[in-house]
């Protein structure tokens, strides 16, 4: 009996480059894969991430995080990633620390 295929969102982290001030720029990327298991999704994600890093000349962090999609087939408004964090911060402070503190602002050409 064959296992059913499910959707997995897999997050990878890349070193995107260094800006003119010598500050590192990173890319956090979530890609969807259809697979029979977490193991299969990770294998697909590893290959895709390695190709992406090679094509873009990025460094790839070796750890990936996978999230199994729950529910029906992908539809408008379908959740593709969810991760829980804990911190002794207010919601606004957590947002600033996690999402604004290291925001990349492309330099003017």
Average pLDDT over residues 89-107: 86
- The predicted pLDDT at position 59 comes to 94
- Rounded Cα distance between 30 and 28, Å, is 7
pLDDT of 43 above 90:
yes
Establish if 54 belongs to a structural domain: yes
Which structure tokens are listed for 4? 């059913």
From 79, 83, 81, 71, select the one nearest 31 (Cα to Cα).
Answer: 81
* Structural domain count of the chain: 1
Establish if 39 belongs to a structural domain: yes
Establish if 21 belongs to a structural domain: yes
Establish if 66 belongs to a structural domain: yes
pLDDT of 2 above 70:
no
Establish if 35 belongs to a structural domain: yes
Q: Which domain holds residue 48?
A: 6-70+78-100
Establish if 1 belongs to a structural domain: no
Q: Tell me the whole-structure pTM to 2 decimals.
A: 0.76
Establish if 64 belongs to a structural domain: yes
Average pLDDT over residues 58-85: 82
């Amino acid at each position: 009996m064959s296992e059913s295929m499910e959707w997995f969102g897999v997050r990878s982290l890349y070193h995107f480059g260094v800006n003119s001030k010598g500050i590192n720029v990173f890319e956090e990327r979530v890609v969807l894969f259809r697979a029979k298991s977490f193991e299969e999704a990770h294998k697909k994600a590893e290959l895709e991430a390695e190709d992406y890093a090679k094509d873009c000349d990025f460094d790839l962090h070796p750890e990936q995080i996978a999230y199994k999609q729950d529910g029906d087939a992908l539809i408008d408004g379908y959740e593709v990633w969810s991760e829980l964090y804990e911190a002794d911060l207010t919601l606004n402070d957590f947002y600033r620390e996690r999402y604004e503190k290291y925001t990349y602002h492309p330099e003017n050409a």
